Amino acid sequence: MAVGVARLGYSAGWISRLGADEMGAYVLGVMRGANVDVTNVQLVEGEQTGIFLRENRTSGSSSVFYYRSNSAFTTFSPDDLNEDYIASAQILHLTGITPGLSHTCRAAVERAIEIASTHGVRIVFDVNYRAKIWPREEARMCLEDLMRRADHVLAGREDLVKLVGIVDQDEQLSYLNSLGLTTFVLKTGADGTILADTEGTRRVPGVSIGNAVDRFGVGDAFAAGYIVGQLRAQTNLDAVALGNKVAGWSIQLPGNIESLPSWTELDGMNAGTWTIGR
DSSP 3-state of 177: helix
Distances, alpha carbon 242 to alpha carbons 4, 5, 96, 192, 259, in Å: 12, 12, 23, 12, 16
DSSP 3-state of 2: helix
Identify whether 21 is a catalytic site residue: no
Is 253:217 a contact under the CB 8 Å cutoff?
no
Backbone angles phi, psi at 151, to 5 degrees: -85, -35
Is 135:162 a contact under the CB 8 Å cutoff?
no
Q: How far apart are CA 206 and CA 211, in angstroms?
A: 14
Active-site residue, selected from the candidate residues 84, 220, 238, 267 = 220
Residues noted as catalytic: 220
